[in-house]
């Protein structure tokens, strides 16, 4: 088994674990934004299935269709994240900023997905979600640090969710931005896989943070 294949399998296991954790806490009273996180996890599972199937089987629909499915799932995941951030901190200026940026980014992402699919250009559409998520995370942290510190941060489920997204976006954004500049030459093909593995590892950590946030629901704090 190759390293990136191992990381993909490990990632799938972690996503499945987060799905089980989400099911375990399904009946627990929790903030409304958790429904988007739940759909996000389901979409993550579908993404894993898509990746594993393309790695192991010759799919009759071909690579282009698989990439299109992947980008569609990433798009839906981004919608879920947008909804999550929109419901995260009500009654704050944070919400206004998030809504506007989110609404503006959706058509950009959509156009990018279509363009990549039709023209087969190297730019990755997930660049947009990662950048926007980074901005949202900064807004959230700024909001948390500037408002009344009434919650216990280490027990705040929202905090761990945002930290997970932040970590993943921090690593994914430069990786995805630089990818078009790394040659597809055979001799350094491994480098692409290494970089992708690091990006996948960041996603694994994000799902671990999602599990942590679910565990925080044992001591619910609505912030």
Partner 1 sequence: MLKAPSVFIIVFIAVSVMLILTMAIFISLIIFRYQQKQNAYFKDIEALKTSHQNILLQSQLEIQEQTFQNISREIHDNIGQKLTLAKLYMNTLDFTDTQKAKLQVNDSVNIICEAIAELSDLSRSMSSEIILNYGLIKALEFETEQLAGSGIYIINFSATGNPVFMDIDTELLVFRMVQEALNNIVKHAAAAVIDINLHYTGNLLTVLVNDDGKGFNSSEAGHGAGLQNIKKRATILKGNVAISSTPGSGTKIKIEIPL
Binding site for partner 1 (CB under 8 A): 1-4, 6, 141, 144-145, 148-150, 153-154, 163, 167, 170-171, 190, 193-194, 197-198, 201-202, 205
Assign residue 147 a region (left: φ > 0; alpha: ψ between -120 and 50; beta: otherwise): beta
Q: Which backbone phi and psi does 162 adopt, to 5 degrees? A: -65, -40
Radius of gyration of the chain (CA): 18
Structure tokens at 101: 């940026």
Assign residue 51 a region (left: φ > 0; alpha: ψ between -120 and 50; beta: otherwise): alpha
Nearer to partner 1, 4 or 124 (CB): 4
Least distance between partner 1 and beta carbon 198 (Å)? 6
168 DSSP assignment: H
Nearer to partner 1, 118 or 145 (CB): 145
Least distance between partner 1 and beta carbon 56 (Å)? 15
Least distance between partner 1 and beta carbon 153 (Å)? 5
Least distance between partner 1 and beta carbon 150 (Å)? 8
Nearer to partner 1, 79 or 165 (CB): 165
Nearer to partner 1, 33 or 166 (CB): 166
C-alpha distances (whole Å) from 165 to each of 1, 77, 120, 213 are: 29, 12, 28, 12
Least distance between partner 1 and beta carbon 204 (Å)? 10
Nearer to partner 1, 3 or 115 (CB): 3
Say how far apart CA 148 and CA 216 lie, in whole Å.
20
Least distance between partner 1 and beta carbon 145 (Å)? 6
DSSP string, 47-60: HHHHHHHHHHS--T
Least distance between partner 1 and beta carbon 69 (Å)? 27
Nearer to partner 1, 17 or 141 (CB): 141
Q: What is the CA 137 to chain-centroid distance, rounded? A: 12
Nearest to 192 by CA among 171, 178, 206, 173: 178
Nearer to partner 1, 6 or 100 (CB): 6
- Contacting residues for 121 by C-beta, under 8 A, at least 6 apart: 115
């Amino acid at each position: 088994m190759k390293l990136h294949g191992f990381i993909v399998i490990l990632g799938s296991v972690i996503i499945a674990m987060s799905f089980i954790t989400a099911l375990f806490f399904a009946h627990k009273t929790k903030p409304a934004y958790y429904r988007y996180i739940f759909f996000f996890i389901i979409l993550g599972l579908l993404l894993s299935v898509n990746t594993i199937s393309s790695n192991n089987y010759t799919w009759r629909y071909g690579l282009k269709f698989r990439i299109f499915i992947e980008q569609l799932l990433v798009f839906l995941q981004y919608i879920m994240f947008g909804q999550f951030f929109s419901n995260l901190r009500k009654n704050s200026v944070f919400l206004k900023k998030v809504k506007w940026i989110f609404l503006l980014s959706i058509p950009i992402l959509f156009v990018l997905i279509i363009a990549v699919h039709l023209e087969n250009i190297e730019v990755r559409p997930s660049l947009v979600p990662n950048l926007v998520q980074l901005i949202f995370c900064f807004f959230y942290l700024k909001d948390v640090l500037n408002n009344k510190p009434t919650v216990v941060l280490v027990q705040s489920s929202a905090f761990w969710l945002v930290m997970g997204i932040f970590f993943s976006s921090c690593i994914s954004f430069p990786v995805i931005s630089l990818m078009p500049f790394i040659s597809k030459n055979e001799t350094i093909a491994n480098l692409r896989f290494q970089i992708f593995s690091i990006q996948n590892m960041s996603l694994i950590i994000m799902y671990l943070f999602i599990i942590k946030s679910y565990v925080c629901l044992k001591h619910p704090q609505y912030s």
